[in-house]
Amino acid sequence: MSDRFVFNKDKIWSRRQLLKLGLIGAGASSAGLLWLSLNQRSKSQILIPPIDSDIPPEENKPMKALRNFDYGTIKQENGRKIREFRITAKNETINLNSAVSFNVWTYNGQVPGPTLRAKVGDRVRIIFLNRGGHSHSMHFHGTHPAASDGVRPVTNGKETIYEFDAEPYGVHLYHCHIEPVTRHIAKGLYGMFIVDPPSPRPPADEMVLIMAGYDTNGDHKNEFYAFNGIPEYYLDHPIRIYQNQLVRLYVLNMIEFDEAATFHIHANFFKVYPTGMTLQPSYESDVITMGTAERHILEFSYKYPGKYMFHPHQDITAEHGCMGNFEVIETSKT
């Protein structure tokens, strides 16, 4: 690999420098598309209920975040495949309910940020542009060189590159690491990073649920909680799944100001793959406890149709927005 892609310093790159290096632009390799095609083909047996078309797109972000995975753009450079992602930090306003709006800091205009996905061993490149008005960064959990650790501030209007091999396989995350880190995360700068194992896991209806809180009055306590950004969204708009079909849930706790949170599903049990770093489940339960930034893969299927709640077992967290329903649909009705 050319020295121009070896970052031995935390260097902030201007857009002109990125253009000079040929990093602005898109290209796709047949090898990268083949892995994505095989990954998607393995899921072709899985039935995905349609999203409710009556919900306006701007109000439907949590439902889209549920099953949307960003595989990046595949490029070939010096004989090696690069999986490239483009992330921009900027400011947005979201409605937490009909009466309360909140100014958030976002990756690519959404909270949580996009779910980035790669295969173990992929060379991953993140081109990060900060248009958020404050210094921000992207720190990835996983294994990578110090130069790509994302702890150096990227000032407003600047770009930088994080580049590393995706390892180990599992469920990881990324977030802003600029002090005070708690504030940057609580304002919305976080997302999930999935690294798939060498061979795909069995076909399943794959979904992402990220728990987070909102401190709306600056007292370092959360007044609202949410799955995938909006309080009570999945209570009002249940997640439709099919009866007797395997669900693979990637769940992450990003609640700041609370020491831990639980996750519980009603009328069922799930198999637990801690941090997603095993191919066999470690145990089964109907409730798990996670500290901030802890995450797991949970697998389950529902035997009976109907609506079933999911929520943290801390009542105050659930009652202030972190509550949802699975709506199990009979397969015969598809």
Tokens encoding 280: 């066999």
Three-state DSSP at 249 gives strand
Cβ neighbours for 269, distance < 8 A, ≥ 6 positions apart:
284, 285, 286, 300
Strands 205-214 and 224-227: what pairing?
antiparallel
Q: How far apart are CA 159 and CA 22, in angstroms?
A: 14
Q: Is the preceding peptide bond at 305 cis, omega within 30 degrees of 0?
A: no
The residue-averaged pLDDT of 12-22 equals: 47
pLDDT at 40: 53
Output phi, psi for 62, to 5 deg.
-60, -35
Three-state DSSP at 154 gives strand
pLDDT at 51: 78
What ranges in the chain are assigned the alpha helix state H? 15-20, 30-42, 61-67, 181-186, 233-236, 315-319
pLDDT at 45: 87
Q: How far apart are CA 94 and CA 87, in angstroms?
A: 19
CB 298 within 8 A of CB 313: no
Q: Which helix (H) or strand (E) holds 207?
A: strand 205-214
pLDDT at 331: 81
Three-state DSSP at 182 gives helix
With cut-offs at 50, 70 and 90, classify the pLDDT of residue 43: low
CB 334 within 8 A of CB 242: yes
Cβ neighbours for 238, distance < 8 A, ≥ 6 positions apart:
307, 324, 325, 326, 327
Q: How far apart are CA 135 and CA 290, in angstroms?
A: 29
Q: How far apart are CA 228 and CA 233, in angstroms?
A: 9
Q: How far apart are CA 222 and CA 183, in angstroms?
A: 12
Is the model's pLDDT at 19 over the cut of 50?
no
Q: How far apart are CA 220 and CA 323, in angstroms?
A: 22
Is the model's pLDDT at 78 over the cut of 50?
yes
* pLDDT tens string 206-259: 999 999 999 999 999 999 999 999 999 999 999 999 999 999 999 999 999 999
Q: How far apart are CA 247 and CA 303, in angstroms?
A: 12
Cα 300 to its chain centre, rounded Å, is: 20
Q: Which residue has the higher pLDDT, 35 or 186?
A: 186
Sign of the alpha-carbon torsion through 141, 145, 148, 150: positive
Three-state DSSP at 150 gives coil
The residue-averaged pLDDT of 50-74 equals: 86
